[in-house]
Chain A
């Protein structure tokens, strides 16, 4: 039985769209105390105290820092929650 050659599939001209990565950015502020910010991160971001402290110190030293990145929906929820804790949280994307 003759072998049939598989017909080559045309390559897609358009690469599949990459989902943009959304970042939750928190800016330093002079009002909220360091222990309060650490507690916020533990509660809202569900990280342990050591990681929360690392994030807080990064923000304190650099003026702001990325505390989470991923899908937009989750990032929006986290930004709203951090703002409800009165932190200066914003949403950024690379898209």
Chain B
């Protein structure tokens, strides 16, 4: 069973959960917009779009619920099974992509490629700084989850 321990205050988790609920529609739109869809079948195209939007929105809702429902200090997110862990991994990816395409759209790629949580401090607005902190944090959560799911990978 996958388990993530987070050192976050209850207030921070509540704020993050609320932000994720707000981000869900943008994540759903982004999932559809960035996908190149088959063009020769309008019916299939519509179903394809709906599938992408539904899965991204559902993943974000799952992640928000998991974070806001975490118990203890540090907060512990317990995922019931591996399938839930995979859903969380996809959600973290959806939110990172959404942050990249919205608040962090003006930040160069090289400033975002650090995977060790080191954030470039200079030249960012406060909003960009907060978004980058979330972006890095979610990347680290992804790595932690992947290590639990497959320690040999």
Contact = CB atoms under 8 A, between A and B. Distances in A.
A86 B93 contact: yes
B115 interface: yes
Contacts, number: 62
Chain B interface size, as a band, is 20 to 34
Interface stretch (B8-16, B34-42, B66-74, B117-125): B34-42
Interface string B74-102: 00000000000010011001101100100
A36 B153 CA distance: 10
A31 B96 contact: yes
Contacts of B38: 76, 91
A30 B109 contact: yes
Contact of A36 (B48, B146, B152): B146
B14 to A, nearest CB: 26
A80 interface: yes
A85 interface: yes
A47 B22 CA distance: 36
Interface in A29-56: 30-33, 35-36, 38-39, 42-43, 49
Interface of A: 30-33, 35-36, 38-39, 42-43, 49, 76, 80, 83-86, 88-91
